[in-house]
Structure 1
Amino acid sequence: MKIHMSENEKTYISRQISVYKTDKKLVEFIDKLKPAPAEYYAHIHSFGDKDESGVRQISCIGITLQNYTNGTGKNIKRVSANISPDEAEYIFNQLQNGVQEFNFQQEKIFGTPDENGRSHVTKLRIIRAVTGSDGKPRRYPWYLEIANGTGEKVKKDNGGIFMKANSYQEQNKEYINLNDMDFYKLMIRVSKYIKAWEATVAPHIITEGKQAIAQMQEEGRS
């Protein structure tokens, strides 16, 4: 279906999957899913595979936290992190199973180092706690925290990457508390979207991969 817009209208297409807002904060989940190339068709999602331009693509769900306590525009404090489709489904399954205690933590360092040898770092914590530090029941048991900063990247002999100990410098950190229903609404929409995306994209990827295999086999017989 084509969208017809006048010359004065600006085209804007949102990648937002789900969002939760308060009068001071916002958390949203964003579509960053990427299909695997034909060479790795069975992956369906791209997990660092290179596209036709040689650029590594990583299929993920973006999470953005915004704090507009100090106002909007330039005064908004914003942090972000990414989770894989599998991690998103895992978190949703734990929520759906009614876990009482939950602790998911992630730390990533990525990107080309700057002139000081520092790379981008994201830290993510998703926790469910029944009681607070004061021992009282928490009305909002889910706690989501994102921190952004920089660190020094170190490469392992096997090609893996990790952050040098004590090199992390935090630039911004935000958090939000959610009750079970609000977090469920966020995550069920993410889960449904991932399934819809896979059902839409996978047939094309698999067909392309199978055709490439058949062509290689045919060329091998000729």
Structure 2
Amino acid sequence: MVSTIIAKANGKDKVIDFRDYLNLANTDEYAMMHGIGGEKHARVSVIKVVICDYTHGTGENSKTVNANISPTTVAKLLEVCKRNIGTVVLPNDMAPLVEQRVHQSDMKKIANMQFGVLRQVIKFCKSIQNAAQAKKMPGLDVIAGSLVAMLEKEKTAVLEPTQVQNGGFFTYPAHCDITHVQDRVHASKQGPDGYAPVQRLTISHQTYRQDGSLSRYPWYINVTNGMAKVRVSDIGATSFDPSSLKDTEEAFINVSEDDMYRCMVRVERYIDAWEKLNCLPLIKEGLARRQSEVESYRNQQKEGL
């Protein structure tokens, strides 16, 4: 039997795969290329995410859940994967970095001055105290002159120009986190009781664990399938009542950076190949039909004259 699986990744007693459920737009909507769903459009074009959980065994003891993501979501997740590759290298002589180091150096000099002033004042007060006890108290002019001389030394250190060494570089790991949450209700499959199938999906990337350590499996994918009552807004948009959610089945999997990157690259490249293979003929046919309509309209205008 032909498989629609584009890419998959294995976890401990779990598997996730990404499947081809792409659909062409109608010829009259050729510029969309992908179907967007609804009564007046072609069937929605998606990539199906399937998680199989064998934690409690195979067969009837296993769980399989699925959710759909758009081609655009695939592109967004791939961008996050790319931003988590390698190490960022920055030269030390970048203007903002030089300015920051100068500022930090100035703040350090001010802090040193404040501590120096405190130290000098304490030293001076002890000298006066000792002189008073020895009944050899100097005059006010001597006291003031000595204090000024001490504080001038601290002031001079702050006024000296700040020298910052440039050149070289520093590095830091490239990290980017994301949380993608979506709810979908298949209103077209609504039953007589008002309930319809529901998909809840969470895809997140968390670089660090709660204890502050670097995560080896930073990608978290959770899917919940169930039934819920359909709600229709005044403008016809469909959603579901979360409080009515029932018959749920849930599964999750943690995926490594390498596995997620590999899967997203394969899915993105498949979508690109699919568009080249299927959308180019669609666009060609759509443009031809559009040109035919334009010419027909022009002929009608001429006949009207």
TM-score range with shorter-chain normalisation? Answer: 0.7 to 0.9
Name the residue aligned to 2:215.
138
1:50-129 correspondence runs (5 A): 56-98=42-84, 99-111=175-187, 112-129=189-206
Name the residue aligned to 1:164.
241
Name the residue aligned to 1:4.
none
Give the SS at the match of 2:37.
strand
Name the residue aligned to 2:3.
14
Q: Distance in 1 between matches of 2:291 and 2:214?
A: 60
Task: Please tell me whether Structure 1 or Structure 2 has the larger radius of gyration of its CA atoms.
Answer: 2
Contact 1:147 1:170 in 2 (8 A): no
Further displaced range: 78-87 or 91-100: 91-100
Name the residue aligned to 2:109.
none
Please tell me the root mean square deviation across aligned C-alpha atoms, in Å: 1.8
Contact 1:37 1:49 in 2 (8 A): no
Q: Distance in 2 between matches of 1:210 and 1:84?
A: 25
Name the residue aligned to 1:177.
254
Structure number with higher helix proportion: 2
Further displaced range: 96-105 or 142-151: 96-105
Q: Which amino acid is the alignment partner of residue 22 of structure 2? A: L
- Identical residues among aligned pairs (%): 28
Q: Does 1:214 align with 2:203?
A: no
Contact 1:30 1:61 in 2 (8 A): yes
Q: Which amino acid is the alignment partner of residue 64 of structure 2? A: R
TM-score by length of structure 1 reads: 0.87
Give the paired residue count: 208
Contact 1:106 1:125 in 2 (8 A): yes
The Cα shift of 1:199 comes to 1.1
Q: Distance in 2 between matches of 1:42 and 1:49?
A: 17
Q: Distance in 2 between matches of 1:56 and 1:205?
A: 13
Name the residue aligned to 1:199.
276
The Cα shift of 1:55 comes to 7.8
